[in-house]
Amino acid sequence: MRKTVATTTEFLHTWDSRVNFLMAGECVPFSFEFPSTEDIVERLVAEEATTGISGQLRNTGDRENAMESFRGMSCDDLMASSFQFRYPDVTTLDRPGDIFAGFTEQVLVPWKLYLLDHGFTWDRCYALARVSGPNTCTGYHMDRSNVLFWNVRGRKVFHGFREPNRWVPLARANDGREAQIMPENLTEEDVLSYEVGDNTLLWNHLLTPHWVDAPELTFGINFSHGGLRHDGRLCRYEQHVYDTLGHNPNEKWHPETSSAAFLERLSAQE
């Protein structure tokens, strides 16, 4: 049931489905030397744009930003709390001497070129950073993005369902966050878990239910994709969202990160 997709041919067959898979080989056309996780934590705790939650609730995805309660804490104090930080755009810390210097050129550009080379376009695509303190977990939820989840350091357990459609059929794909509640009486057979270690990548489908445990300090990058299309075609769940809403929800959401904007910048550099 667990699967690793390591060729582009297989990725093109698998990206529009619902059961998450690991990505490797030619599907990961980038690498990066990150500073220590402690340095990243110190930097992010001071950044205005960082949001944070106290990450011990598994049963709901509805959590308010609690970042102010973490400001000014030392690394040791943070380790004793239950912190999870999210930084929305890695490229703003891609400056000489900063923690993500070189990220755009070494990671984001090769990833976008890879997608374009194989027939994908998108309305938005950006990379955000996440740090999870020890013994934390996310709430159960579904994302309105296809996410390439890159666990850079530490051990996490990424949970989803073996049969997502049984638990959340297409008709419930537009449920609001408050309606996204983990089903009761799940058995081990119902759940598909990936234990991920250093430098592991996982494709998390749009609108597939999931939740993630971090038994130890972890750092990672999420690439968020909205309006991802292959040969002009959205994945089935996103098409369903567009059909039910009657419009494209990604149109005004970071249009500067679209494939069209990326191509424009590339041709301006030539």
Residues near Fe ion (CB under 5 A): 143
Residue 71 C-beta: closest distance to Fe ion, Å: 25
β-bridge pairing 4-5 and 21-23: parallel
| Residues in contact with 79: Cβ distance below 8 Å, sequence separation at least 6, in sequence order | 133, 134, 217
The burial of 120, by beta-carbon neighbours within 10 Å (0-12 exposed, 13-18 middle, 19 or more buried), is given as buried
Specify the residue, 50 or 262, whose C-beta has the smaller distance to Fe ion: 50
Specify the residue, 61 or 154, whose C-beta has the smaller distance to Fe ion: 61
Specify the residue, 143 or 175, whose C-beta has the smaller distance to Fe ion: 143
Strand order through the sheet with 233-234: 120-121, 229-230, 233-234
Minimal CB distance residue for Fe ion: 143
Amino acid type, 211: W
* Dihedral of alpha carbons 219, 158, 139, 13, sign: positive
Residue 142 C-beta: closest distance to Fe ion, Å: 8
Specify the residue, 133 or 209, whose C-beta has the smaller distance to Fe ion: 209
Residue 117 C-beta: closest distance to Fe ion, Å: 27
Residue 73 C-beta: closest distance to Fe ion, Å: 25
